[in-house]
Amino acid sequence: MNKLFIWFKHFSLPVKLLFYLLIIIALWFISTLLRKNTPPQPGLREDLRLIEQLGFLNLHDTVEYTGIDACRKCHADMYQAYIKTGMGQSWDTADLKKSALASHQISPIYDEKNDLYYLPFWQNNHLMVKEYRLKDGDTTFIRTEKVAYAVGSGQHTNSHILNINGYLYQVPFTFYTQKKILDFPPGFEGGNNSRFGRMIGFECISCHNAYPSPVEGSVNKYSNVPHGIDCERCHGPGELHVRAMELGHIVNTKKEADYTIVNPKRLPRHLADEICARCHNQGNSVLKEGKTFFDFRPGMEVSSVLEVFREVYENDEDAFWMETHPERLKKSKCYQKTRNHPDFKPLSCLDCHFTSGMKHISYKETPVDTFRQKCLNCHGEGFTQCKENQAVRNSQSDNCMTCHLVKTGVFDIPHVVISDHFIRITDKWKKEIKSTREIETGRFLGLKSMSSAHPDALTRARAFLYHYEKFYSNPSLLDSALFYLKKYPVKEYFKYWVYYYYLRKNFKKITRIAEKKKIEDIRDAVCYYQIGQAFHNRNHPEQALKYYQFANKYEPFNLDYRNKTGSELILLKKYQDAMAEFNFIIRENPLNHVAYNNLGFIYLIQNDLVNAEKYFRTALKLHPDYLTAHLNLVKVFIGRKNYLQAKNYLQSLIKRFPDNRQIKELSKIVR
C-alpha cells in the first residue's frame, strides 16, 4: 500500500482527482451489483482488489477537509450527540455558554514575583481579563483584554486564548474545574509568567482543536480557527466521501467498507489506537523531515509523521504526564496478554471509550456499568475472578475502575486528577495521590520514544536538542545530542549542526560553517535565524541582516524574526527600513510592546522626542516592567535637559530593579 501511494504522488492533481472519481464509480457499480445480487464482472473484481490494496482513499494528502457542518447534513443525530462530548467541547468561544467560569465566584490570582494580579470578569456575554498592579491600595497599572477562546471540555480544565488579528496567545489564567480553582496555567507559575506572550503554535492547536487554517509563513497566525475537535480527526478528511454521497454513490457499510472515509472499527487494532495516540501520547515531539503537525490522518502510524520522546527516570512507575494514556495502558497485563491471545481481541482504547452502543455520547452520560462490563468480558464466569474481599468491593459499588485504575494527580498539570490507565492489582487507590510531583524518582536515565521501538540516531539527536531548548536546559542533554549527531556529516545535515552549536552558544563555529554554505541553499527559517543571531553576537551586522532577511522570506509572519531584522537595520543606520519592519509588526499585532519601543528608539536617535516618548509610553502601557522602554524614557528626559525628572524616574526604577547596572550608570549622569 505504501509503495502504491509513493507511485501515486508523482501524478498531477487533476489526474489524481480523475483516479478518485473512477474509484468512486467502481464502488458504486460494485454496491449496485451487490444490491441486485449479481456477481461482479472480472474488470470490476480487479477494481475492487485495487481499492482494497490502496485502503482508505482519504489518507492521501490531496483529499481536503470539509469541516463538521458537512458531516452534520447527513449525520445530524451523531452530530448532536458528539458536540456534547469532551472532544466536541474542546475549543469554543469564551462566552457564558462555553466557559466553566460562568457559574463560579471569581477572585483574582496574584503573581508574587512580578507583582501582578489577574481578574477574569464578564462584560455582557464576553469573558474579559484584567491585569493590574496595586500600591497601597491604589491601582498603578491596568491592562484589559478580551478572551477569544476557552480551551478544554471542562472535565479537568478551561484554559484561555487571546486572538490578535489571527495571532493566538495563551492568557495567564486557567480554571481547574475538578477543584474549582482559578490559578496560573502550567509553565506560568513560579515566577515564569509570560503574561500574554506564549504563542499557540501548530503543535498545540493540532491536538486541542480541529485542524485550523494556518497562515503560510507564520508560527501562530491562523486565517480560520474551528470550534472544537471534529469528526475528521478520527475519520479523516471528508472531501472524497462528501463528493461520493452527492453523486449518489452510497455503500452498504453493513456488507462492505466505504473506502472514501475511515471507520476506525475497520482498522487493525493498533492503527485504531494510533488515532488516540496522536494526541494522548504527550511529550517532546520530533517531526519527520518535511512533515507538519497537520499531516497525520486516521489509518496512519504516528511514527510516519513524528516521534514522541519522554523523560525516563529510575523508579518512575507512578510518575507520568497527563496525556500518556496509551503508554500507561501498554504497561498493563490486560493489554500485553491480549496482543496475540487466541480467545480475545487485543485490548484497545475503543473497547472502553467507544463501544458499539455508545453512539458518540459523552463520558458524563455513559453509565459506569459500561466500563465494568468491559472488564467482565474477560473476568466473568470461567475466567480470572476478582479476589478482593466482598465487603471492600461493595464499598466501591463493585466498580473495577476504582481499584484497578488509580485516581491520581499528574506530573505536569496542577489541581487535576485522572484515572491512571496502568491497569493493575494495587492498593494505591486507598491513599489519594494529589500529584505525581509527590512521588520521588531516581536519576534521569534519558529519553525514550513512545512512538516506535527504534528511532534513528538523527531523530534521537534532535529529541535531545529540542528537550534542552523546551524543557530542561541541562548540558548533559547536549552531550547526548552530540553522541548521536556526530554520526552525520555537517555538509549534509547542516541545519542540525547549526542548531547544536546555537544551543552551545558557539557562535564562532556557526559563522565558520555558514561561510562555506551557499545562503540560498539552506531553505530553513529557523536555521537562517540562528545563523543571523551568531553573526549578530560576533558584531557582524551586515551578515546578520542577510540571514534575518532570508528568515523573513520563509516566515514573513514570524514577528520575532521581523523584530530582529528591524533591530539590525538600526545598527546599520537604515532607519526608514527599520521603521517599515516595526510598523509591519504593529499592523499585524498592535499589542507588541517591543515594536513600539524600537520605533520610539528610532525617533529618539532622530531627536524627535515627542514621538519617542509617545511610543515608549505605549510600550509601557502594554508591559509595565519593560526595562528597556523605561531607560529609553529616561533618555528622553535627559534629551530635554529635564534632569530632575530623569533623576526622580531613575530613583523609582532602582527600587524595582535594585541590581541593574544600566540604571546605576544613568544615575551617575543625572546627579
Kindly state whether residue 384 falls inside one of the protein's structural domains: no
164 and 96 both lie in a single domain: yes
Going by C-alpha positions, the residue among 54, 427, 32 that lies closest to residue 240 is: 54
pLDDT (average), residues 329-342: 89
Give the long-range contacts of residues 149-152, CB within 8 A, separation 24 or more.
Answer: 149/91, 149/92, 149/93, 149/94, 149/225, 150/91, 150/92, 150/93, 150/94, 150/98, 150/99, 150/100, 151/90, 151/91, 151/208, 151/209, 152/90, 152/208
Considering the domain boundaries, does residue 596 fall inside one? yes
Task: Give Cα separations from 604 to 590, 610, 637 (angstroms).
Answer: 21, 9, 11
**Taking the CA of residue 62 as centre, how many other CA atoms within 13 Å lie in the half-sphere pointing to its CB?**
16
**Model confidence band, residue 358 (pLDDT cutoffs 50, 70, 90):** low
Query: Residues, the chain, total?
Result: 671
pLDDT at 8: 47
Residue 4 confidence (pLDDT): 43
Residue 601 lies in a domain: yes
pLDDT of residue 31: 46
Strands 174-176 and 157-164: antiparallel
* Alpha carbon 415 to chain centroid, angstroms: 21
Interstrand relation of 306-313 and 284-287 (parallel, antiparallel or unpaired): antiparallel
| Amino acid present at 273 | D
Asked if residue 627 belongs to a domain, the reply is yes
**Same domain flag for 199 and 242:** no
Residue 3 pLDDT exceeds 50: no
DSSP state of 267: S
Instruction: Give phi and psi for 209, each to the nearest 5.
Output: -150, 170
pTM for the structure as a whole = 0.90
Q: Is 426 helix (H, G, I), strand (E, B) or coil?
A: coil
Please give the Cα distance from 102 to 658 (Å, whole number): 42
Q: Tell me which residue of 628, 577, 568, 622 sits closest to 604, measured CA to CA.
A: 628
Banded model confidence at residue 342, pLDDT cuts 50, 70, 90: confident
Q: Is the pLDDT of residue 597 over 50?
A: yes
Listing DSSP states for 115-155 in one string gives TEEEEEEEETTEEEEEEEEEETTEEEEEEEEE--EEES-SS
Q: Which three cell numbers stand for residue 240?
A: 472524497
Residues 602 and 558 in one domain: yes
Does 64 lie in the same domain as 154? no
Closest residue by Cα to residue 139 from 164, 163, 108: 108
**Mean pLDDT throughout 297-310?**
95
Q: Which amino acid, 117?
A: Y
106 assigned to some structural domain: yes
Task: Identify whether residues 7 and 54 lie together within a single domain.
Answer: yes
pLDDT tens for 187-224 read 998 889 999 999 999 999 999 999 999 999 999 999 99
**Residue 423 counted as domain residue:** no
Domain match, 186 and 255 both: no
Q: Has residue 568 been placed in a domain?
A: yes
Q: What is the reported pLDDT for 431?
A: 77
pLDDT digits (tens, 9 = 90+) for 373-423: 888 888 877 666 788 888 888 888 888 888 898 888 888 899 999 989 999
Number of domains in the chain: 3
Q: Are 210 and 151 in contact (CB under 8 A)?
A: no
Domain that residue 186 falls in: 89-210
Instruction: Read off the pLDDT of residues 221-271 as tens digits, 9 standing for 90 and up.
Output: 999 999 999 999 999 999 999 999 999 989 999 888 999 999 998 999 999
pLDDT of residue 6: 44
Domain of 627, CATH number, reads 1.25.40.10
Q: What is residue 520's DSSP assignment?
A: G
What dihedral do alpha carbons 168, 173, 175, 180 form, nearest 10°?
A: 180
DSSP code of 556?
Answer: T
pLDDT digits (tens, 9 = 90+) for 141-199: 999 999 999 999 999 999 999 999 999 999 999 999 999 999 999 999 888 999 999 99
Query: How far apart are alpha carbons 83 and 102 in whole angstroms?
Result: 19
Q: What is the pLDDT of residue 93?
A: 97
Mean pLDDT value of segment 86-90: 94
Q: Answer with the residue of higher pLDDT: 357 or 1.
A: 357
Helix (H) / strand (E) element for 531: namely helix 525-537
Please indicate whether residue 18 or residue 80 has the higher confidence score (pLDDT): 80
Q: Cβ–Cβ contacts within 10 Å for residue 372, how many?
A: 15
Within this chain, do residues 562 and 471 fall inside the same structural domain, yes or no? yes
DSSP assignment of 354-398, as one string? Answer: S-TTTTT--TTTS-HHHHHHHHHHHHSTTSPPP-S-HHHHHHTTT
In the structure grid, which three cell numbers stand for residue 595, read together?
515594536
Q: Are 147 and 256 in the same domain?
A: no
In a domain, 102, yes or no: yes
Instruction: Report the pLDDT averaged over residues 7-20.
Output: 55
CA–CA separation, 501 and 507 (whole Å): 7
Residues 47 and 104 in one domain: no
- Average pLDDT over all residues of the chain: 89
**Do 597 and 475 reside in the same domain of the chain?**
yes
**Co-location of 614 and 657 in the same domain:** yes
Residues 242 and 135 in one domain: no
